[in-house]
Amino acid sequence: MYHIAICDDEKEFIREITNLLRRYEKESGKKFRITEFCDGSDLLKGYQTDTDLIFMDIQMEKLDGLNTAEEIRKMDDAVGLFFLTSLPQYVWRGYEYGAVNYLLKPIKYARLKIELDRFFSHYHGKDEPYLSFSNDMGKYKVLYKNLRYAETCKRNVLLHFEGQEQVIYKSMKEISALLETQRLFAKCHASFIVNMAYVKSVENLEAVLATGERIPISQPKRKAFIARLADFWGDML
C-alpha cells in the first residue's frame, strides 16, 4: 500500500483529486492510503516518514508549497512530490526542491494517470533501504545511499547527509550494528563509520570523501578498513 499526502487549502479540490486517485487505484490495482492537509504548516506538523508521494499546492495562505517543500526535503529526501498550481510561472521554482513534476489546476484524469504511471514505473520507495528517526528538530527519513558518515557526538551520534547534520539518539555501537548490515558502510575509527561510496581516496590516516571532507582512520582499524574498501571498489568495476 502506498501512502499519499494531499496538501491544499481548497477542500473541494482535495475531494476532486481524491476521487481521481481512487479511480486510478481501481484501474491500476494499486492501493492507496490518503492523508489530507489544508496547509503546509499542518503537513509539517503531521508528516509521516512512510509517505510515498505528496500532492502539494504552491499557493497557500499560511505556509506556501515552496517553503513547505524546502522543509520536507530536510526531513525526507526520497518522497515523491507533485506541485499543484493554476499559475504556471511558479512551476520552475518547484524543481529546486526535487519535484517529480507539476499539475495544472483543474486536473484532468488523463494527465494525472500519465504522471502517476511514470512515477510508479521508476519509484522504488519502500524497496530502497532507508533510516528513519526523530530528534528535537523533527522527523527524518534518509536513504542509506545518501548518508555520508556518522560520528560519535557525546553519548549520541551525528549523521551527515544531504547538506545537513542531525543527531540520532543512539550510541555508536547501535548505529554501527545497524549500518554495517548495509554493504555500503565500514567502520574506520571507534567514533566514525563511513559510506564507502563517498570515499575518493585514503591519505595516511584519513579517508577523503568526494565532498572534500576528511574522516579519521585509526591505526588499529586501518588494515581492515582498506581491505573492505578495496573489495567495495572492486565490486563497483
Task: Catalogue all structural domains in the chain, each as residue range(s) with its CATH number.
Answer: 2-127 (3.40.50.2300), 130-236 (2.40.50.1020)
| pLDDT bracket for residue 7 (50, 70, 90) | very high
What's the rounded mean pLDDT across residues 119-129?
A: 78
What's the rounded mean pLDDT across residues 117-123?
A: 89
Q: What is the pLDDT of residue 93?
A: 55
| pLDDT bracket for residue 90 (50, 70, 90) | low
What's the rounded mean pLDDT across residues 96-110?
A: 78
| pLDDT bracket for residue 168 (50, 70, 90) | very high
pTM of the predicted structure, to 2 decimals: 0.69
| pLDDT bracket for residue 65 (50, 70, 90) | confident
Q: What is the pLDDT of residue 89?
A: 61
SS (H, E, C) the chain: CEEEEEECCCHHHHHHHHHHHHHHHHHHCCCEEEEEECCHHHHHHCCCCCCCEEEEECCCCCCCHHHHHHHHHHHECCCEEEEEECCHHHHHHHHHHCCCEEEECCCCHHHHHHHHHHHHHHCCHHHCCEEEEEECCEEEEEEHHHEEEEEEECCEEEEEECCEEEEECCCHHHHHHHHCCCCCEEEEECCEEEEHHHEEEEECCEEEECCCCEEECCHHHHHHHHHHHHHHHHHHC
